């Protein structure tokens, strides 16, 4: 979900206008089938334009119209309200996607040949967010991100710090940098969502087994729920706060873009983010020194996992009149060659069995977790999007009031369960 | 039917049709969906008034109401006091009067979203530098990142932008006051303050009313400036009602629920405006 938080300036009307304009662009001639292709990533427009050219050259009977709009999660809903589901879509595989899939607006892709190619651990993460009738496969992963700690290997080498394997090691490293006058982390608290990479990693490894399933099963009954944030997130909250005590002065007023620039320029040893930030950091400074390691959340390195989400999910409109053509396009996008190239260009992890391992040195630290399937999903994808999780977390990191933070989360969760009894499981 | 009254209908009916199709029908659709659990897509069921009951139990909704009213009332007062002051200055016999009036109107021409981003930069970067240089603690970090001060930043930007429009209305009002009233007051030895209290203010009562009503109504619907400045943050401390409706309804998959919120809010704004009009109009002078 991290890339698509830059929605702020974009008025909804502009998004709609863009969709309308692009989808009206010239009627197709003769027997050419035109697929409307909703592509959510602004930074990948060029990439997809190139892929579409290739696809169209190989399939003269099909034209693909790429629509890219700001604030895609909102834009896709407005299209759905008007019953204008695109033929083919890419979306971030987040909670919002899960809700849409659950509402059965996407086609079942489980019979697609390319569905057999997907790494099972990745498909599970995507399916866990929600799917139609709890049995279909409504989205196929095209690229994955991985949330981990970015670090500057030059600064690590300069102070003789090795990559931390344990939580204590991480704190010791932070202390070493602090003692030497180097900012251990560069925090960007102005953008609320930048508190969530740390949160989701802590939660993934520290929350009890099946936490969200049990929480959902409790329904609206807060008092008798076997699990709750107040009970089971104490350590998550403590450790989150501990990390954020290392924020540089003035962190509350720094935004993500400035943070990328600062880390790129070597102003901090570490950066609590993920693979998705790598292209942005390189854009800020092509010479940036970046390497990564997974969050060591406990003192047992064997527990360490990488939190990964499906960055680009391919889906198909359920009622598309051009199913065969749409399938062809999806199969093309999931071909080994395209997946490998996309992963390389966008600093992503390829979610298919046959794909080449990620070669980018910045992502090497997390690559082995990916291939061995030591993956967890994003905890925030399990929460209804109407809970303003990142804002509540930002508030907590700023004021440090743990009891209130966990109570707010419980309160929001059960409140929403209560007002949507029929959909309390969302 | 006379020829001229036919012409009235020909002109009024298309406008009425447009209004009904583009405004009344969507509004009623929204009211309908407030009685369902519609997520904005997919299927829905009719749930009666359940959304409305949930609203009053939702502390996030309640805190957005209290923030919005605090913000709107403060900003309305600031805007009207300053606008009236500026209008009187611009109405005085000064050099370059027209040029000044033009300059003071500029903020109203700029889009609030753009102003918001400019001020966001000023609050986050320029003011902290000033604060550090002057050694003022609360100004050394961005006030937008401070949950107790962020709303003041929004007040400042909103006031800066909307004072211009109020000034125009007040200027129009001031020009309706006959000059001989002041001449008579001068002869009777009334001072400046006395003249303001007994002549100027009562004479522009209608303009004061409309300014107060328009300003409060506008600020109650605040959205753009908050998006540009704080995005509702830090935390959820500056979430206005409009913002909660947008976020929950369009992004959070609770379309039906937030439609109920919109209906309630519509009624609240109508009620506030009516009460305001009535109390203020009673104080206006008739002449």
Contact A128, A93 (CB under 8 A): no
Token duo for residue A131: 């799917």
B22: CB partners within 8 A, 6+ apart: none
Tell me which of A14, A77, A86 to substitute to probe the interface with B (most B C-beta atoms closer than 10 Å): A77
Token duo for residue A175: 């202390």
Give, for A122, the enclosing helix (H) or strand (E): helix A120-128
Among the listed residues A141, A111, A115, the one whose alpha carbon sits nearest the alpha carbon of residue A126:
A141
Give, for A216, the enclosing helix (H) or strand (E): helix A211-217
> Residue A67 pairs with which residues in a beta bridge?
A38
Rounded-to-integer distance, Cα B242 and Cα B38, Å: 19
Rounded-to-integer distance, Cα B113 and Cα A406, Å: 34
- pLDDT beyond 70 at A221: yes
Give, for A268, the enclosing helix (H) or strand (E): strand A268-274
Taking phi over 0 as left and psi of -120 to 50 as alpha, with beta for the rest, A318 belongs to: alpha
Q: Is the CB of A73 less than 8 angstroms away from the CB of B231?
A: no
The shortest C-alpha distance from B135 to chain A (Å) reads 14
- pLDDT beyond 90 at A236: yes
Q: What is the mean pLDDT of chain A?
A: 88
Name the band, by pLDDT with cuts 50, 70 and 90, for residue A341: very high
Contact A41, A18 (CB under 8 A): no
Rounded-to-integer distance, Cα B85 and Cα B91, Å: 10
Name the band, by pLDDT with cuts 50, 70 and 90, for residue A422: low
Cis peptide before A30 (omega within 30 of 0): no
Rounded-to-integer distance, Cα A268 and Cα A321, Å: 53
- pLDDT beyond 60 at A147: yes
Q: Report in angstroms the alpha-carbon separations of B53 from A411, A418, B34.
A: 17, 11, 12
Residue A17, pLDDT score: 46
Which positions in chain A touch B42 (Cβ < 8 Å)? Answer: 80, 100, 102-105
| Cβ atoms within 10 Å, residue B18 | 10
> Residue A34 pairs with which residues in a beta bridge?
A63
pLDDT per position as a tens digit, A84-95: 899 999 999 988
- pLDDT beyond 80 at A6: no
Among the listed residues A265, A153, A241, the one whose alpha carbon sits nearest the alpha carbon of residue A189:
A241
Residue A368, pLDDT score: 87
B281: CB partners within 8 A, 6+ apart: B209
Name the band, by pLDDT with cuts 50, 70 and 90, for residue A322: very high
Q: Is the CB of B236 less than 8 angstroms away from the CB of A391?
A: yes
Q: Is the CB of A423 less than 8 angstroms away from the CB of B141?
A: no
Q: Is the CB of A104 less than 8 angstroms away from the CB of B251?
A: no
Tell me which of B50, B223, B234, B258 to substitute to probe the interface with A (most A C-beta atoms closer than 10 Å): B234
Among the listed residues B244, B230, B220, B217, the one whose alpha carbon sits nearest the alpha carbon of residue B63:
B244
Tell me which of B34, B39, B125 to substitute to probe the interface with A (most A C-beta atoms closer than 10 Å): B39
Residue A177, pLDDT score: 96
Name the band, by pLDDT with cuts 50, 70 and 90, for residue A26: very low
Q: For chain B, what is the total number of helices (H) and then of strands (E)? A: 15, 0
Find, in chain A, the residue whose alpha carbon is nearest to that of B229. A8
Find, in chain B, the residue whose alpha carbon is nearest to that of A84. B41
Q: Report in angstroms the alpha-carbon separations of A46 from A50, A279, A342, A345, B58.
A: 6, 14, 11, 11, 44
For chain A, give the percent of residues with pLDDT over 90. Answer: 63
Q: What's the whole-model pTM score?
A: 0.82
Name the band, by pLDDT with cuts 50, 70 and 90, for residue A421: low
A400: CB partners within 8 A, 6+ apart: A241
Which positions in chain B touch A100 (Cβ < 8 Å)? Answer: 41-42
Rounded-to-integer distance, Cα B192 and Cα B180, Å: 15
- Chain-centroid distance of CA B194 in Å reads 31
The ipTM (two decimal places) reads 0.80
Which positions in chain B touch A138 (Cβ < 8 Å)? Answer: none
pLDDT per position as a tens digit, A267-300: 999 999 988 899 889 999 999 999 999 999 999 9
As averages over each run of 10 residues, the pLDDT of chain B (287 residues) reads 77 93 94 91 87 92 95 97 94 89 91 93 90 86 88 95 94 92 91 91 91 94 93 90 92 90 95 91 70
Rounded-to-integer distance, Cα A354 and Cα A349, Å: 12
Contact A295, A149 (CB under 8 A): yes
Instruction: Report how many Cβ contacts below 8 Å link chain A to chain B.
Output: 128
The radius of gyration of chain A from alpha carbons, rounded to an integer in Å, stands at: 22
Q: Is the CB of A398 less than 8 angstroms away from the CB of B60?
A: no
Residue A201, pLDDT score: 95
Give, for B185, the enclosing helix (H) or strand (E): helix B179-187
B256 CB near a chain A CB, below 8 Å?
A: no
Q: Report in angstroms the alpha-carbon separations of A330 from A52, A326, A418, B222.
A: 11, 6, 39, 43
- pLDDT beyond 80 at A142: yes
Tell me which of A15, A73, A388, A401 to substitute to probe the interface with B (most B C-beta atoms closer than 10 Å): A388
Token duo for residue A102: 């659950």
pLDDT per position as a tens digit, A56-114: 999 999 999 999 988 888 888 888 877 889 999 999 998 889 888 988 899 999 998 88
Token duo for residue A199: 């949160």
């Amino acid at each position: 979900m991290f890339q698509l938080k830059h929605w702020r300036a974009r008025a909804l009307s502009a998004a709609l206008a863009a969709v309308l304009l692009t989808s009206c662009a010239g009627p197709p001639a003769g027997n050419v089938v035109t697929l409307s292709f909703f592509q959510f990533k602004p930074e990948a427009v060029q990439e997809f334009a190139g892929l579409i050219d290739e696809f169209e050259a190989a399939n003269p009977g099909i034209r693909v119209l790429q629509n890219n709009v700001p604030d895609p999660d909102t834009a896709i809903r407005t299209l759905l309200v008007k019953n204008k589901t695109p033929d083919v879509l890419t979306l971030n595989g987040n909670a919002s996607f899960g809700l849409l899939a659950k509402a059965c607006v996407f086609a079942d892709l489980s019979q697609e040949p390319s569905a057999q190619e997907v790494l099972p651990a990745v498909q599970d993460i995507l399916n866990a967010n929600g799917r139609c009738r709890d049995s279909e496969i409504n989205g196929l992963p095209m690229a994955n991100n991985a949330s981990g700690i970015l670090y500057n290997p030059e600064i690590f080498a300069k102070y003789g710090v090795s990559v931390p394997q344990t939580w204590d090691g991480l704190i010791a490293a932070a202390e070493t940098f602090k003692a030497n006058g180097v900012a251990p982390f560069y925090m960007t608290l102005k953008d609320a969502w930048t508190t969530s990479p740390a949160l989701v990693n802590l939660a993934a490894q520290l929350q009890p087994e099946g936490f969200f399933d049990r929480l959902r099963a409790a329904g609206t009954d807060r008092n008798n729920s076997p699990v709750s944030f107040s009970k089971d997130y104490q350590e998550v909250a403590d450790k989150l706060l501990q990390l954020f005590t290392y924020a540089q002065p003035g962190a509350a007023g720094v935004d993500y873009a400035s943070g990328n620039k600062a880390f790129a320029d070597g102003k901090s040893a570490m950066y609590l983010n993920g693979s998705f930030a790598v292209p942005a950091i390189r854009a800020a400074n092509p010479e940036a020194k970046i390497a990564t390691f997974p969050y060591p959340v406990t003192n047992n390195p064997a527990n360490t996992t990488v939190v990964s989400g499906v960055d680009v999910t391919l889906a198909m409109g359920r009622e598309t009149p051009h199913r065969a053509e749409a399938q062809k396009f999806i199969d093309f996008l999931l071909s080994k060659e395209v997946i490998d190239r996309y992963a390389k260009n966008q600093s992503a992890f390829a979610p298919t069995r046959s794909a080449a391992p990620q070669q980018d040195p910045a992502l090497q630290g997390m690559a082995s977790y990916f291939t061995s399937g030591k993956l967890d999903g994003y905890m925030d994808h399990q929460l209804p999007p109407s809970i303003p999780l990142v804002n509540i977390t930002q508030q907590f990191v700023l004021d440090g009031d743990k009891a209130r933070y966990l109570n707010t989360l419980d309160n929001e969760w059960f409140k929403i369960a209560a007002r949507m009894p029929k959909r309390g499981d969302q | 039917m006379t020829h001229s009254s036919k012409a009235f209908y020909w002109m009024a009916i298309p406008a009425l049709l447009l209004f009904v199709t583009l405004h009344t029908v969507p509004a009623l659709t929204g009211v309908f969906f407030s009685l369902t659990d519609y997520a904005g897509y997919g299927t829905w069921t009719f749930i009666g008034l359940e959304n409305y009951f949930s609203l009053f139990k939702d502390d996030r909704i309640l805190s957005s109401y209290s923030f919005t009213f605090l913000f709107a009332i403060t900003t309305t007062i600031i805007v009207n006091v300053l606008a009236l002051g500026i209008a009187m200055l611009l109405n005085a016999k000064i050099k370059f009067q027209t040029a000044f009036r033009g300059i003071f109107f500029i903020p109203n021409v700029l889009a609030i979203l753009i102003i918001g981003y400019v001020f966001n930069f000023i609050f986050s970067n320029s003011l902290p530098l000033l604060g550090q240089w002057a050694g003022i603690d609360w100004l050394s970090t961005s006030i937008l990142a401070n949950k107790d001060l962020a709303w003041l930043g929004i007040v400042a930007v909103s006031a800066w932008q909307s004072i211009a429009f109020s000034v125009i209305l007040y200027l129009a009002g001031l020009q309706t006051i006959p000059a001989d009233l002041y001449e008579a007051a001068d002869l009777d030895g009334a001072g400046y303050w006395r003249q303001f209290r007994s002549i100027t203010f009562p004479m522009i009562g209608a303009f004061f009313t409309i300014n107060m009503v328009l300003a409060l109504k506008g600020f109650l619907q605040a959205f753009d400036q908050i998006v540009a400045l704080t995005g509702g943050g830090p935390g959820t401390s500056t979430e206005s009602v409009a913002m909660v409706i947008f976020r929950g309804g369009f992004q959070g998959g609770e379309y039906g629920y937030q439609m109920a919120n919109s209906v309630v809010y519509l009624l609240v704004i109508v009620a506030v405006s009516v009460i305001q009009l009535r109390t203020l109009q009673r104080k206006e002078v008739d002449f």
